[in-house]
Amino acid sequence: MHFPVKKFLSYYKPYIRMFMVVLVCALITSSLTLVFPLLVRYVTKDVLQAGLSTAFVDVLWVGGLMVILVIAQNIGNYVVDYKGHEIGARMESDMRSELFSHMQKLSFSFYDKQKTGQLMTRVTNDLLMVSELYHHGPEDYVKYLVRFIGAFVILLFINAPLTLLVFCFFPVLGFFSLYFNKRLNRALTDNKERIADINAQVEDTLSGIRVVQSFANEPLEINKFNRENHRFLESRKGTYKAEAYFYNGTEAFIQMITITVVIAGAIQIVNASLDLPDLITFLLYIGFMVEPIQRLTHMSTQFQEGITGFQRFIEIIDMKPAIRNDPGAKVIPQVDGHIQFRDVSFHYDTSMNPVFEHLSLDIHPGEYVAFVGPSGVGKTTLSSLIPRFYDAAEGGIFIDGENVKDLDLKFLRTNIGIVHQDVYLFSGTVMENIRYGHPEATDEEVLAAAKRANAHEFITRLPQGYHSEIGQRGVRLSGGQKQRLSIARVFLKNPPILILDEATSALDNESESIVKESLDTLAKGRTTLVIAHRLSTIRNAGRIVVLSDGRIVEEGTHEALLENDGPYSQLYSRQFEVLG
């Protein structure tokens, strides 16, 4: 996969000053490190051979200088370690915020094809190692490049033939490292995909734990998890195999370099072309040349983790939302709620049959329109085109004469309230969940919305009233209570257009009666579209639209459609027979 260097570097921009301080400190500490072997060489070659009378003072002087260098080094390393890691963590935090914000913009069509657990992995695990890459990447390369070049230059002055002999190993070592880095990249990318599959499986099973236990299917879920867990294990084994080849191969090269220096240096000492202090110094500097390779070899996994994490981050960031504002998106002064479908065609995927073809419909402001038809005929899909959860393939949807594609998305969706059959409540309190409909609303406005939704009475009976925690997805509430909270949320939003998507079909008769009363109150004065399964709940609709095979087959009032003895009459009779 292509690595976008420019995008990667752009995250340094807000912290460039502090980052440059870190790099300068890394440069200084690395340069100071190169002085130590020279001081050792000075002591062994010049001080100790010059005579013992002055040696004691000179050794103390050199020792004092070494202490000063150690203090300076540690101060520099403290800045590099602390501030470097902080910069990495800040950039990781920035990226995570950017990724989460971008995910909020991606359309339903994206989420239709994704698993929540896998997306969570991208937001959390994938970015953890990116921070280490951002910190250690440039800092370590600067630090070790200085040591490598510095040691190489110094060694050339000490003994050029031996230095060039040692240097012959490095190109081979470079190609070896490059090959195994590519293998590690592939293995770690596979690891991330496998752990994402595990997260998706865990999220899926735990979200549906009540269904799992009600069917006594725990062994089935354990088997599914173990299958994904085994796939992850196999991918990890592949990574460790590549790491073992890489690390041990590199260590073998390094040991060969040391052996070469010892043998070649010993031969030169015998031939009197090299003395022992120079050989000792040479071995110390060889350590400085080899250390970057050892260190970078052991950090290569960490680097590759960061690189693959960044690549997976970019995969999502580069995805353009299927639904987005046009540059000149409009905001109209007032929405009356006149909705028109003009020659609308739609399909979820070009490879699938169309849901609608050339469908047209006119809904007047304040009108109460119900949509009925067999399951899968596209009733919910039709309503999803109005707030642009999906875009029509052909034709257009218009509100008050304006094509919804020309309207600002936030403005459009703010003016549409939706009550779903499957209510989603967030972890938190009752107050927080109702206020979700209008985050700036006062407590008094929240209470008023709850009263209008017939929810105030049951809320006050909860242990902490409006401040009661309702659990994930509202598990501590009944179906009717959850539905009334969702209705209160829409009351607080107060939109001119209302979509009721089978809002009572999952409720018992008593709860349905209370919720229906709340919905009738909510619908007054608004353009209301009702998707109905129970036909008995829409008898009073101003107009009933019957859908079949991607088109409107008839429309009219309940009584008129029964008299027609058409598709609606047949649906109604069939449902009445089932109820009977």
Higher-pLDDT residue of 272 and 462 is 462
490 burial type by CB count under 10 A (0-12 exposed, 13-18 middle, 19+ buried): buried
In a 13 Å sphere around the CA of 334, the CA atoms on its Cβ side amount to 2
**pLDDT of 177-197, one tens digit each?**
778 777 877 887 788 788 878
Q: Distance (Å, rounded) from C-alpha 277 to C-alpha 264?
A: 15
Predicted pLDDT of residue 539: 78
How confident is the model at residue 580, as a pLDDT?
A: 45
Band (pLDDT 50/70/90 cuts) for residue 283 is: confident
Asked if residue 485 lies in contact with residue 453, where contact means CB atoms within 8 angstroms, the answer is yes
pLDDT(455) > 90: no
DSSP string, 4-72: -HHHHHHTTGGGHHHHHHHHHHHHHHHHHHTHHHHHHHIIIIIIHHH-HHHHHHHHHHHHHHHHHHHHH
Average pLDDT (385-410) is: 90
Percent of the chain residues topping a pLDDT of 70: 92
For the ranges 142-146, 243-247, 352-356, 447-451, the one whose mean pLDDT is highest? 447-451
For the segment 151-157, the average pLDDT, to the nearest whole number, is 84
Predicted local distance difference test score (pLDDT) of residue 1 = 53
Question: Are 159 and 274 within 8 A, CB to CB?
Answer: yes
Give the confidence band of 399 by pLDDT, cuts at 50, 70, 90.
very high
Report the predicted TM-score, pTM, of the whole model to 2 decimal places. Answer: 0.74
The structural domains of the chain, with segments of one domain joined by +, span 5-317, 420-494
* Cα–Cα nearest to 284, from 37, 23, 449: 37
Long-range contacts of residues 24-28, Cβ cutoff 8 Å, at least 24 apart: 25/76, 25/77, 25/79, 25/80, 26/76, 26/80, 26/84, 26/139, 26/142, 26/143, 27/142, 27/143, 27/146, 28/72, 28/76
Scored b (16 or more CB within 10 A) or e, 216-245 reads eeeeebeeeeeebbebbeebbebbeebbee
Please give the Cα distance from 70 to 103 (Å, whole number). 48
Confidence check: pLDDT of 340 > 90: yes
For the chain, the average pLDDT equals 82
**For residues 456 and 465, what is the distance between their CA atoms, to the nearest angstrom?**
9
Residue 331 backbone phi and psi in degrees, to 5: -130, 115
Topology at the third CATH level for domain 420-494: Rossmann fold (3.40.50)
Across the beta sheet with 394-399, what order do the strands follow? 356-363, 339-346, 394-399, 402-403
Domain with residues 5-317, CATH architecture: Up-down Bundle (1.20)
Count H helices, E strands: the chain? Answer: 22, 10
Question: Which tens digit of pLDDT belongs to each residue from 5-53?
Answer: 888 888 999 999 999 999 999 889 888 888 887 887 777 776 666 566 6
Q: pLDDT per residue over 497-530, tens digit each?
A: 988 887 666 566 666 677 777 777 878 888 989 8
Which residue in the block uniquely carries the two structure tokens 């399964």?
A: 533
Strands 339-346 vs 394-399: parallel, antiparallel or unpaired:
antiparallel
> Is 371 in a helix, a strand, or coil?
strand
Quick: pLDDT tens for 49-67: 656 666 677 778 878 888 9
Query: Higher confidence at residue 275 or residue 10?
Result: 10
Residue 370 CA from chain centroid, whole number = 39
Query: pLDDT band for position 199 (50/70/90)?
Result: confident
Order of all β-strands in the sheet with 368-372? 416-420, 497-501, 527-531, 368-372, 543-548, 551-556
> Where residue 423 falls among pLDDT bands split at 50, 70, 90?
confident
pLDDT above 50 for 579? no
pLDDT of residue 480 exceeding 60, the answer is yes
The answer to whether 523 and 541 are in contact (CB under 8 A) is no
Q: What is the pLDDT of residue 54?
A: 66
